[in-house]
Amino acid sequence: MNEEKSFRDQVNTIYNLLMVLFTLFVLAGGGIIYYANNPNMLNFNNKSETLVNVPVEDDSDLIENGIHKRTGLIDAEGLMTVVNNCTNCHSAKLVTQNRMSEERWIATIKWMQETQNLWDLGKNQEIIVNYLVTNYPPKAKGRRMSLTNIEWYELED
Amino acid sequence: MLSSIAALIGTKIVFGSNMLEGYVPLGLQDPDPFKLFNKHKDMIVLNDKPWNIEAQAHLLDDKVTPNSCMFIRNNGLVPENIDPKSWTLTIDGESVRTKKTYTLAELKSKFEEYTYQLTIECGGNGRAEFDPPAKGNQWTVGAVHCASWTGVRLRDVLNDAGIKDNAVYIGFHAVDQHLSRDPNKEAISRGCPMSKALQDETLLAYKMNGEDIPLVHGYPLRLVAGGWPASVSGKWVNRISIRNKVHDGAKMTGTAYRIPCETVAPGEKVKDEDMCIIESMPVKSLITYPKTGAVLKQGKSLEIRGHAWAGELEVTKMEYSIDFGSTWNDCVVEKPVNRLAWQHFSAQVDFPKKGYYEVWARATDSNNKSQPMLLPGWNPKGYLNNACHRIAVKVK
């Protein structure tokens, strides 16, 4: 009899344990599905629809020889404002290739706002324009430049 | 292949069975554009979002440009999941008689196939030289190619749907996404007047150099209009509208692919309404051999060669100069293999003594217009720089 009782006790223990595990499993599963559909549910303090500046990891903002390595932009005042506002749709290479006067950088920003979905830059506009004009001003090229950076090589035949 | 990608991203790829063999989804692509697009290692990446890559003169030496040396110009994002089996082309617009939709298979079976070698040059090729500088990708010399394109004539397809008498222009629509990913915006939707649309050589192409068009060059269907700014040759085309007015899609209006109707001084402001659409490209040439920087021994003559093209026209004369234009010597210039294909030139150049030289090349078109040695008319967006190409040579 004793043996049978202890067997029943063991079965009950296992049964209870399994029930607890099963309940936890169902709860966790439900939670995951709910979270997947409502990814913001844990952001208790954030107002919905607020743009959050995601902090950029330190090593991705490495500066080498005065150049912001990730984007190729010149490291100067306003760099991160430019990175955060001007490299979302297009690459920074479109910035670094170009050289313009203040008037034409502003006209370019205006064109992007009117036709390319660029947002209102607010107070950042001045910071961005100053950065661009200071670091990417036009260079005089004249009517035809000399050939430069020629890699000389012996022509054999 | 599919299963290893699936394993890597931990999920199944929807429609994965439709993916091309060997195709790697863009999201997983190696950021190395040379591998991504099968490009020559000496190609120059101007922009990586959107992708814009140009050749250098010496890479364009082939008579028919191979994919590896063809420039890439994108206004938007390269499309990802393309299924040729379900791809369709719709002909619509105010001036179509009957709106019609064709599958690729229908296009291929219903219409006769043609192959042409076509010169396609970016309107902004050479922009980097303008002063004051012009906004945009700073192309130097390498935004031109002349590949062989196979497809059906746009004219045959338009006629099958029917063209009303009031038709003025065609405009293409394509599947590439706008950079902002705004689904209501098209990355580019340009076109051409009916006269260009109806030319023999204007194709809806499904093959390039005898093979499926590479994805980045417009797979599975590309409009090709040789001799006009490359932006007319729409990639990933799925709809063509026959318009009763000049097409007004993205990059048709404002200052895009337009130059001042009347010439202006460098840096002058031009109102949008005073800008005119670029049509045929101007006469131009490129020395593709030798590569700039050749050092030769005194007394040796140098063989130079390259290509020349003139938009809708033909090149009738090709010259070179080794004394900065004081004297010009004729090159041999071949006839084009077909209309709108570039022409090959060559010459034997002798240098009188040791020193630094520049070999300049100058083409003249059938209207007797030649390439300028200096920059041609300045324009706000830096289009149509057809100034002479030159290479540096040293004789020692």
Give me the mean pLDDT over the A44-50 stretch.
46
Provide CATH 2.60.40.650 ranges for chain B: 284-395
Q: Quick one: closest CA in B to A93, which residue?
A: B47
Return the residue in B74, B138, B349 with the most chain A beta carbons within 10 A, the one to mutate for interface testing: B138
Give me the mean pLDDT over the B234-242 stretch.
98
pTM of the full structure: 0.83
Say if residue A66 is in the same domain as residue A120. Answer: yes
Print the domain residue range for A25. 1-47
A124 within domain boundaries: yes
CATH code for the domain in which residue A99 is found: 1.10.760
Say if residue A24 is in the same domain as residue A93. Answer: no
Q: What SS3 class is residue B169?
A: strand
Q: Per-residue pLDDT tens for B278-304?
A: 999 999 999 999 999 999 999 999 999
- Which positions ≥6 away from A128 have C-beta within 8 Å? A78, A81, A82, A85, A86, A109, A121
Q: Assign residue B355 a region: left if phi > 0, alpha if psi is -120 to 50, beta otherwise? A: left
Distance from CA of B295 to the nearest CA of A (A): 5
Helices then strands, each counted (H, E), chain B: 5, 24
Tell me what percent of the residues of chain B surpass a pLDDT of 70: 92
CA distance A138 to A115: 24
Partner-chain residue, chosen from B133, B374, B391, that has the shortest CB–CB distance to A100: B133
Q: Which of A27-41, A47-61, A119-133 has the highest mean pLDDT?
A: A119-133
Say if residue A42 is in the same domain as residue A79. Answer: no
A152 within domain boundaries: no
Say if residue A62 is in the same domain as residue A101. Answer: yes
Provide CATH 3.90.420.10 ranges for chain B: 88-277
B25 touching A, CB under 8 A? no
Say if residue A76 is in the same domain as residue A16. Answer: no
Among B370, B338, B279, which Cα is nearest to B64's? B338
A28 within domain boundaries: yes
Assembly ipTM? 0.86
pLDDT surpasses 50 at B190: yes
Say if residue A23 is in the same domain as residue A62. Answer: no
Q: Quick one: closest CA in A to B131, which residue?
A: A141
Assigned superfamily of B88-277:
Oxidoreductase, molybdopterin-binding domain (3.90.420.10)
B348 touching A, CB under 8 A? no
Domain count, chain A: 2
CA distance B50 to A59: 25
B49 touching A, CB under 8 A? yes
Say if residue A63 is in the same domain as residue A131. Answer: yes
Q: Do B136 and A145 touch (CB under 8 A)?
A: no
Strands B275-277 and B113-121: unpaired
What's the pLDDT score for residue B14?
Answer: 57
Its CATH class, for the domain covering B284-395, is mainly beta
Say if residue A31 is in the same domain as residue A81. Answer: no
